[in-house]
């Protein structure tokens, strides 16, 4: 008997190349006598199966596992809709890099069969809560799975920001922006900005300045229970943006503060039994590979 008798399917939009994978996935799940809930995109790929499309709210209310077909961006999009109910997610990787999506299309039957029979591991990743404070009032709040990024809104220019951790002043810096990332997000934008890779089991967050004017500014790792505050200096003449996971933007005005704390919810990821994080890093980041001598 399956560990997850009710399964939701969410697919990457605007990518007809994934239709075959969605169809194969659906055929396999139906063959296991499972109840399927498909989002609008997935249902469009399954028109011949006459499956009714479901809203994300319906998927969240009725599924015990949600399978996401796409890349990490699709998983982040799905997680934002499901995070409050903490429904476990399983990713089938059709993206470019895929640190979150664990299964390749060619392994659907083998690995999904093991998972449905109970042979899997569950990882619980920390999530951040970002709140925008203006004139002493919270005007916006959102969960961040990867990161919160503060940057100039319309043009390439430096902004001046002040940071505090647990109400203790850290620094004032002029930079292109600032990244506050979870361990999950440490392999995303934060890594490109020179930040460290945090193992996903570490209960910590990393603060990474983006192209700081003062070169001695370096990434800082703090306890995940810390309260991080980023103030956009009144000296700034232009509006900035607070970008959540690269998907949700909030206008960040001079004098505003972003308060970032650990969220009460977690991201639940279902992984194959043989999941090896360091193997993922070696493959995705091309570690331990020899130079291609054929190109000489």
Residue 107's pLDDT is what? 87
Residues (pLDDT < 50) of the chain are 296
192 phi and psi angles, rounded to 5 deg: -65, -30
Residue 232's pLDDT is what? 96
Residue 77's pLDDT is what? 93
Residue 102's pLDDT is what? 79
CB-based contact 104:284 (threshold 8 Å)? no
- Is 251 known to be catalytic? no
Residue 284's pLDDT is what? 87
Query: What are the residues facing 53 on neighbouring strands?
Result: 38
CB-based contact 193:217 (threshold 8 Å)? no
Helix (H, G, I), strand (E, B) or coil at 28: helix
Catalytic residue among 14, 39, 72, 223: 72
CB-based contact 127:264 (threshold 8 Å)? no
For residue 213, the 8-state DSSP code is S
CA distances from 172 to 84, 160, 164, 178, 180 (A): 34, 7, 9, 11, 15
CA angle 75, 87, 246 (to 5 degrees): 30
For residue 211, the 8-state DSSP code is S
Residue 187's pLDDT is what? 95
For the chain, list the domains and their CATH numbers: 6-118 (3.40.50.10330), 127-264 (2.60.200.30)
Does the pTM surpass 0.85? The reply is yes
For residue 45, the 8-state DSSP code is H
Closest CA to 93 of 294, 288, 283: 283
Element (H, E) at 40: helix 40-45
212 phi and psi angles, rounded to 5 deg: -70, 145
Q: CA 178, CA 185: separation in Å to the nearest integer?
A: 14
Helix (H, G, I), strand (E, B) or coil at 186: helix
Pairing assessment for the beta strands 147-152 and 35-38 based on DSSP bridges: unpaired
Residue 291's pLDDT is what? 62
Rounded to 5, what percent of the chain is helix, strand, coil? 25, 40, 35
CB-based contact 204:221 (threshold 8 Å)? yes
Residue 215's pLDDT is what? 85
Residue 270 in tokens: 């279902």
For residue 239, the 8-state DSSP code is -
Closest CA to 152 of 194, 192, 206, 210: 210
């Amino acid at each position: 008997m399956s560990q997850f008798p009710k399964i939701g399917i969410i697919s990457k939009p605007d990518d007809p190349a994934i239709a075959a994978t969605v169809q194969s996935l659906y055929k396999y799940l139906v063959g296991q006598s499972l109840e399927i809930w498909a989002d609008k995109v997935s249902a469009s790929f399954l028109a011949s199966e006459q499956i009714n499309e479901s809203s994300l709210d319906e998927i969240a209310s009725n599924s015990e596992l949600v399978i996401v077909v796409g890349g990490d961006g699709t998983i982040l999009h799905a997680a934002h809709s499901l995070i409050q109910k903490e429904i476990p997610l399983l990713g089938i990787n059709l993206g470019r890099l895929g640190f979150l999506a664990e299964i390749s299309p060619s392994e659907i039957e083998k690995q999904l069969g093991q998972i449905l029979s109970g042979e899997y591991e569950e990882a619980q990743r920390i999530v951040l809560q970002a709140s925008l404070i203006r004139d002493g009032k919270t005007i916006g709040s959102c969960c961040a799975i990867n990161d919160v990024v503060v940057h100039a809104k319309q043009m390439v220019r430096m902004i001046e920001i002040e940071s505090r951790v647990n109400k203790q002043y850290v620094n004032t810096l002029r930079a292109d922006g600032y990244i506050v990332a979870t361990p999950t997000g440490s392999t995303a934008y934060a890594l490109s900005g020179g930040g460290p890779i945090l193992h996903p089991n570490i209960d910590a967050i990393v603060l990474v300045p983006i192209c700081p004017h003062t070169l001695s500014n370096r990434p800082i790792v703090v306890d995940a229970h810390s309260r991080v505050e980023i103030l956009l200096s009144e000296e700034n003449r232009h509006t900035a943006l607070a970008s959540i996971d690269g998907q949700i933007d909030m206008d960040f005005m001079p004098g505003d503060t972003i308060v970032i704390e650990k969220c009460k919810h977690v991201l639940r990821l279902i992984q194959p039994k043989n999941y090896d994080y360091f193997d993922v890093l070696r493959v995705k980041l091309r570690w331990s590979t020899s130079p291609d001598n054929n190109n000489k």
